[in-house]
């Protein structure tokens, strides 16, 4: 066994050290949830903990005669892209569903539910009629021509929707998945709210099934930034969450019906490709014998594909994912860490299911027990938090050495709470974007795009491939950090 594999699959050390200090997963968890408060759009609540942010985009939806305030800014810009926002909320909800007890033990369950609710409240506003969903507010090209904090925005805030004439099954189904997952998350805490979420989820799933098509054909301004490669994965993902939320066999029938196009073995779980997520939810139900006699041989295809993805991640499969020199899973130069964090959630969730059912993972490269899977997850999380060749944490605000000049408008411009003078569209580039100094506001908990395959990272606002954080990056890590902090 190579030294790299020995590190990954050897017995996990009780304490790992970064810059001479043990990794504090609890602090990383707390910061990960603070990040979502920094990304909030709309009227901020009185208990807002990120004090450098202020109210913004208070007239969103006005051009359409609808209240579309709230929701999340996607990344370092000021656009509300509904497609990745919905995926983010699904990931946050999954974290709560799987790791509720661990979040509670770390006193972060309330903050996790608040992060979910900020998104789901917005989705329900955007879904005023069964077959109408607003999927974007703001527009990427005009937004990217300005460097402005959200509180000063002068760029257009046009609202874009899908409906029966201009459908978008991927957007509708992903939003259905987010609302269904959130319904499960809230069921034990607010049954009325959970039921409300479920009603919207069912309507959106019906909309997606009855009116197929890619959402960017209807919301063309999205294609350059978050174009979708298909909608069958979102429908399957939504059906899996609706089955979990309702136990209604109608959704199981849909899953069985689609098993011949179950996605095969995927290489990522991402805002554009949800097959792995659906496959894992179905595989876990099979492990736990939760289909109550309704198992079919067709469902095993989902399990096989889910397990092959995990085997490939842990370097025991037929098509192993690349690793950087320092041992980080590697897919691509642009925002690679988004794929790492989703992989850690999938592997952690499945490891716990294997453990609970006294099973192990059968890979081409040998059997792997649940502890080995968690050890691998820790290797990836520890890399992100600073156990890497650069000794740099890729979570902003965590540790002493982390990215100082992240590509993020709000963080990079002096807070409106400190200086109320408006910062104009081009003035922001001159005074703040091009300034060779740390951002005045620390974007706690943000996961940046991350290092290259040689473990190098250039800390520069202009290096958006590596230095821009996004809401989808941090969301899967919330549950994983809770799991590690409580273990």
Report residue 116 as tokens: 């979910």
Q: Are 322 and 330 in contact (CB under 8 A)?
A: yes
CB neighbourhood size of 209 (10 A): 17
C-alpha R_g of the chain: 21
In whole angstroms, what is the distance from residue 57 CA to residue 21 CA?
Answer: 41
In whole angstroms, what is the distance from residue 98 CA to residue 356 CA?
Answer: 13
Inter-helix orientation angle 275-287/232-246, to 10°: 30
β-partners of residue 17 are 22
Contacts by residues 390-395 (CB-CB < 8 Å, ≥ 24 positions apart)? 390/451, 390/455, 390/456, 390/457, 391/18, 391/19, 392/451, 392/457, 393/18, 394/337, 394/447, 394/448, 394/450, 394/451, 394/457, 395/28, 395/31, 395/32, 395/445, 395/446, 395/447, 395/474
The residues annotated as belonging to the active site are 407
Of the chain, the end-to-end C-alpha distance in Å amounts to 28
Tokens 């992100």: give the residue.
384
């Amino acid at each position: 066994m190579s030294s790299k594999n020995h590190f990954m699959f050897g017995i996990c050390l009780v304490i790992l050290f970064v810059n001479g200090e043990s990794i504090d997963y609890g602090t990383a968890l707390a910061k990960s949830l603070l990040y979502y408060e920094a990304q909030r759009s709309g009227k901020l609540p009185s208990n807002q903990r990120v004090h450098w942010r202020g109210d913004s985009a208070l007239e969103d939806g006005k051009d359409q005669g609808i209240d579309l305030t709230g929701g999340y800014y996607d990344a370092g810009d000021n656009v509300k892209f509904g497609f990745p926002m919905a995926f983010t909320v699904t990931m946050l909800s999954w974290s709560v569903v799987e790791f509720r007890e661990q979040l509670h033990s770390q006193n972060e369950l309330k903050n996790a539910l608040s992060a979910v609710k900020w998104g789901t409240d917005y989705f329900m506003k955007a879904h005023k009629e069964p077959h109408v969903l607003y999927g974007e507010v703001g527009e990427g090209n005009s937004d990217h021509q300005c460097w402005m904090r959200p509180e000063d925005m002068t760029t257009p805030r046009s609202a874009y929707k899908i409906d029966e004439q201009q459908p978008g099954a991927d957007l509708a189904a992903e939003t259905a998945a987010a609302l269904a997952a959130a319904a499960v998350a809230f069921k034990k805490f607010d049954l009325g709210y959970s039921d409300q979420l479920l009603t919207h989820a069912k309507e959106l799933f019906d909309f997606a099934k009855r009116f197929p098509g890619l959402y960017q054909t209807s919301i063309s301004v999205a294609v350059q930034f978050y174009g979708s490669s298909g909608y069958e994965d979102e429908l399957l993902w939504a059906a899996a969450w609706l089955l979990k939320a309702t136990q209604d066999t109608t959704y199981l029938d849909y899953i069985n019906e689609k098993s011949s196009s179950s996605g095969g073995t995927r290489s990522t779980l991402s805002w554009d490709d949800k097959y792995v997520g659906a496959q894992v939810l179905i595989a876990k139900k099979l492990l736990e014998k939760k289909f109550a006699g309704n198992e079919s041989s067709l469902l095993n295809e989902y399990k096989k594909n889910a397990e092959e993805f995990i085997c490939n991640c842990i370097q025991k499969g037929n098509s192993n994912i690349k690793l950087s020199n320092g041992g980080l899973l590697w897919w691509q130069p642009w925002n690679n860490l988004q794929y790492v964090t989703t992989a850690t959630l999938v592997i952690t969730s499945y490891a716990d299911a294997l453990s609970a059912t006294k099973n192990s993972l059968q890979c081409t490269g040998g059997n792997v027990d649940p502890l080995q899977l968690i050890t691998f997850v820790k290797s990836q999380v520890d890399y992100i938090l600073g156990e890497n060749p650069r000794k740099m944490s890729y979570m902003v605000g965590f540790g002493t050495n982390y990215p100082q000049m992240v590509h993020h408008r709000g963080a990079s411009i002096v807070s409106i709470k400190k200086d109320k003078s408006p910062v104009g569209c081009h003035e922001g580039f001159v005074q703040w974007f091009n300034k060779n100094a740390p951002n005045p506001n620390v974007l706690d908990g943000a996961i940046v795009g991350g290092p290259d395959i040689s473990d190098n990272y250039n800390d520069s606002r202009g290096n958006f491939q590596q230095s821009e954080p996004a809401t989808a990056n941090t969301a899967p890590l919330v549950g994983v950090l809770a799991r590690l902090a409580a273990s």
